[in-house]
Each structure stands twice: as structure tokens, then as C-alpha cells.
Structure 1
């Protein structure tokens, strides 16, 4: 198979799909990708906050070892295990974001891609790749090499 061929069928615009639709689907896809990045930051917030809470536990231990029982007790009572917003630890924020926003967004985007482009993702990006690559250049092939190469 020629590794310099045009995009594979999964990334070719289906018959009857116009440029305006490809652009609209590209915008929808870009919005979902931005949401994916936001979700990643939310998971980072979740993990960093959890790490800080365990670090507080270590600070409590060290304060006690240094003879500062009152300060250790204050940190332990008022900060260790504290809600980050009323009634919520970070895992609950992540769960609410996923169920309220992220999953419905991803589902709707997928449905629209199925309805308007026969389920073919990244049509705009594939079109950009085709337009921007240097044909014949070994590092600008249209598709990955076949398995086993």
C-alpha cells in the first residue's frame, strides 16, 4: 500500500456533506476537545488537592513532633479532610461535572457526527492535513503505515 496515498475512508468526507457542515462539525469537535482539556485540569485539581490533604497530615505529625500540639490540632481539626466547597470533596465535583456536563456534551457531539457525517470524526482536521502536507515527503504521509511495517 502506498504510504503517501490520500486519507483513509474513515476520514474522507461522506458524499453529500458540504463544506459548511464540515466546518460546523470541526467547531463542535474543537469545543469538545476544549472540554476534554478542562476535564483534565479538573482531574489535576482533584489529584493536587488530595495530595495537599495528605501533606497536611504530614505537617500535623511534624508539628506534634516539634512540640506544637495546639497548632497541629488546629490544622488537623480545621483543614485535614475539609470540604473544598460546601458538602463536596473534589471527587464529588469531578463526578458532578462528568454527569452534568461532560458526558452529555460528548454524547450529543457523537450523535451529531453520526447524523451528519456517518460517524466520521475529525473531517476538518483530515482536510487540513491533506492540504498542508508535502506529497512525496516521507514524514508527510497521508496515513500510518500498514501493520507489520
Structure 2
């Protein structure tokens, strides 16, 4: 990363840059490549968040199915058998998508798109940053932290 601060690091302190080895840019990696790898990582993070929402959907629909069954039982108990049957035939156990319950959606997503997104992101990271994760973010942190200020340590292991 181009930096005109020399060995002073962030905000002009009296130390050398302190990005830890697990996040250090490998020799030859350009700013544009590191930024692109960071963008691919961000894309994967959005895919991971979407996956979490898919699991939320899976659990929410499952709970709704149980509640529809309870509502049908309650309606039947008070003699409203036609409404109970409507719920049972139209809502209880119904496919959410054609031929699929939500567990099947989750499995197809995991086995397809999610797995591919992880593999592609890893391939980019392996090629550009030697497999190191969050190189772009580590360099951004180093640029933005204030040397010698509590709460701005370079790593969790840094002594003050």
C-alpha cells in the first residue's frame, strides 16, 4: 500500500508499521489487487449474511407451520371444522416453493451458490494475498489508527 508516512506508521507515531504477519500484504501484490480481493471478501460477507437470513426464513416458516396446525386444532375444538380443514389443506405442510420446504431451499443454497461463492472468494484470496484474509482491512486499520493511543493498538497482543 502506498504510504508517504515512512516508518512512522499511522498518525506519525515513532514505530514501524505493525500489520501482523497473518494480514501482511505478500510481495508483489498491488494496491488494485488487494482492493479487488477486499471487494470479493465483502461480497462473500453479504452472501454469508443472506445465508443467515435464509436460515431465519427456514426457522420462521417452520414455526408458522406449527402455529397453523395449532390454529386448526383450536378451530376444530370449537366446531369450526371447515376453517380447520382450510388451514390444514392450504397451509400446514405446504411447499414454500414448488416442490420444496425450506430445509430443501437451505440445502440447495448451501450445496450450490454458497459453496461456489466461498470457493471463488478463496481462489481470489489465495492468488492475490497468498491466502491471507482481510489484508485490505488490516492496511486500512493501520492507515487510520492513532499510534500510542489506547484503543488504537495494532493487534490484540500489542504491549502498551
| CA deviation map 1:75-126 (0-9, x unaligned) | 1122100001110001111111111211011011112211221110111111
Match of 1:120 in 2: 132
Deviation (angstroms), 1:145: 2.7
> Do 2:18 and 2:154's aligned partners in 1 also have CA atoms closer than 8 Å?
yes
Match of 1:6 in 2: 18
Match of 2:143 in 1: 131
- Of 81, 86, 101, 1:89 maps to 101
Aligned length: 143
> Do 2:75 and 2:81's aligned partners in 1 also have CA atoms closer than 8 Å?
yes
Match of 2:27 in 1: 15
Deviation (angstroms), 1:64: 1.5
Scaled by the length of structure 2, the TM-score of the pair is 0.84
Structure 1 segment 18-37 matched on structure 2, within 5 A: 18-37=30-49
Deviation (angstroms), 1:61: 1.5
- Of 59, 67, 86, 2:71 maps to 59
CA distance in 2, matches of 1:96, 1:30: 22
Deviation (angstroms), 1:55: 0.7
Scaled by the length of structure 1, the TM-score of the pair is 0.90
Runs of 4+ in 1 over 2 A off after TM superposition: none
Higher relative contact order, chain-length normalized (CA < 8 Å, sep 6+):
1
Structure 1 segment 96-115 matched on structure 2, within 5 A: 96-115=108-127
* Structure 1: gaps spanning 5 or more residues: none
